[in-house]
Amino acid sequence: MKLGDFGFAKHFEDNSLLKSYCGTPITMAPEILKREKYNEKCDIWSLGIILYQMIFGKAPFDPQRGASISDLIALIDK
């Protein structure tokens, strides 16, 4: 699978953590949504979300229209 980053890619050293908040919230890992520091493992979360959407035709965590980021975080945590 090949994902496009549309200019969001970053180079970082081993064992370092990132803190940028960018992307589509419904595919973001919880660490990013919570504005915590994160590493490349968050890309695996996003890949899993995208694969789920491709297989089932819907997002695994799909808050109601008009929901906030905190609503999405609560749904994921649940």
Phi, psi for 26 (deg, rounded to 5)? -65, -20
Amino acid at 18: L
Contact 39, 18 (CB under 8 A): yes
Predicted model pTM: 0.75
**Closest CA relative to residue 46, chosen from 62, 58, 28:** 28
The DSSP symbol for 26 reads: G
Statement: residue 18 has pLDDT above 80? no
Q: What is the pLDDT of residues 25-78, one digit of tens each?
A: 999 999 989 999 888 888 899 999 999 999 999 999 988 899 999 999 999 999
